[in-house]
A and B are shown apart, each in its own frame.
Chain A
């Protein structure tokens, strides 16, 4: 499989705590993307980090990338109940002249009020 794999599969925390989700992938990448999915909805793009970047911030989100370990992490600081969702990492898979995003199975985050 060319997918990224998120870890943990599920995470439950209290409001105000930080949430860390990890993603490992198998092939070399140009960029890695994180998406969020609320229950029953489509995915929403959160952040993209390029292979030559090590860390990126967006509001309460912090993403790191370690290409030597083929891994990335998503940190949500000062979590809120509204952050409850599934989070997916995605990488580009090249095949036969085509490019597509492939997704991991996701981390299901529950933030308890």
Chain B
């Protein structure tokens, strides 16, 4: 039973390019969360998605960032026109139902984005 799969593990982009981060939740999980972590910091919530729906994107920057969780395929976090400040580790987590109601989250190993 595979865990949460994120790819790529490392992603290097030049300023102005696009970054696409992928997350496949655990089998049977329909809730996906994306978090961002800066060095020596905790995780900052970005967005919460269910299949084909964005439930809460209150942590997403208003511009350049978008996320989707299509009916088929992985969840995608997309960052357009990346800037150096976007460099961070991006983690995806999944749960079988709403994560807050007594359910723990299962995390992927993250994608380390480096913007040159």
Spell out A's residues near B (CB within 8 Å).
3, 30-31, 33, 35, 40-45, 48, 50, 88, 92-96, 98-106, 108
Q: Say whether B42 contacts A41, CB under 8 Å.
A: no
Partner of A98, one of B41, B56, B93, B105: B56
Indicate whether A45 sits within 8 Å of B106 (C-beta atoms), given known contacts A3-B42, A100-B45: yes
| 8 tightest A-B CB contacts, nearest first | A99-B100, A42-B107, A92-B100, A98-B56, A45-B104, A105-B42, A103-B42, A43-B107
Report how far A93 CA is from B48 CA in the complex, Å: 12
Name A's interface SS: strand
Chain A to chain B contacts (Cβ below 8 Å), 22 pairs: A30-B100, A30-B101, A30-B102, A33-B104, A35-B107, A40-B112, A41-B110, A42-B109, A43-B91, A43-B105, A93-B45, A94-B100, A98-B58, A99-B98, A99-B99, A99-B100, A101-B33, A102-B45, A103-B42, A103-B43, A104-B42, A108-B40
